[in-house]
Amino acid sequence: MPEEALTPEKVAQILSVRPKTIRDWLKRGRIKGFKAGRLWRIREKDLDAFLSQARAEMDVETRVWLEAEVSGALPRLAAAAIDHLLLGAIDIAVLYFTLRMAGLTMAELSVLPVVPLVVFLLLVKLSYFSAFTAVGGQTIGKMATRIRVVTGDDETVDGPLAVKRTLAGVASAALFGLGFVPALIGPERRALHDRLTHTRVVALPSA
């Protein structure tokens, strides 16, 4: 009886990754397959060999790809809460030291120029999200909740994309927060800014 050949979609379902990820692995030779006309197919024995080799080599990248799952709503909410608590503390510190340097009291806060102060604090927030996302795909909140931002192909987010995602996040917030709703209830858990920048947030495998 001929051995069954699996489609990339079926293998993706087995490994809990995206079909596009499987096709990328096939093109790169990470997993062995063959073309049936224009379509990729994978033999069961080649899939077993891929899994055995990945486990034997303890390849970190492969294990993360195999084990990473879309982040749930609670870790994302917890990460956002941690990040905004940190940023709120920075806001308070900036206001405090600005008042001290100006020789003003908290009651005289209205004396400070509002626009430059708001712009500065906004730039701090944008820089925070952009820099941490670019460095490792994780803000401090995401580190604490073990989730990470990756590209739609599950690759590392680079600097330009991190900036674009942060700016797109402003659009999600500007829509009265409605841009964040799909991240909490949608099957792909992708907010508006994830869709605009073709990124997603995944849960890291247990150590």
**Which position has the token pair 């001929």?**
2
183-191 long-range contacts, Cβ below 8 Å, gap at least 24?
Answer: 183/73, 183/76, 184/73, 184/76, 184/77, 185/73, 188/70, 189/70, 189/71, 189/72, 189/73, 189/76
Q: Which residue has the tokens 């405090």?
A: 96
Residue 93: predicted pLDDT: 96
Q: What residue type is assigned to position 94 of the chain? A: V
In this prediction, residue 124 carries a pLDDT of: 97
pLDDT of residue 70: 79
| Tokens at 167, concatenated | 């700016």
User: CB within 8 A of 163, min separation 6: which ones?
Assistant: 130, 134
Q: Which domains does the chain have, with CATH numbers?
A: 5-67 (1.10.1660), 70-203 (no CATH)
**199, β-bridge pairs:** 151
pLDDT value of residue 56:
66
* CA dist list (Å): 92 to 98, 103, 120, 151: 10, 16, 13, 34
What is residue 69's three-state secondary structure? Answer: strand
Identify any residues that bridge with 155 across adjacent strands, giving them in sequence order.
none
The mean pLDDT values, 10 residues at a time, for the chain of 207 residues are 79 83 87 91 91 67 59 92 97 95 90 94 97 95 94 85 95 90 84 93 79
What pLDDT, on a 0 to 100 scale, did the predictor assign at position 156?
Answer: 85
112/96 Cα distance (integer angstroms): 12
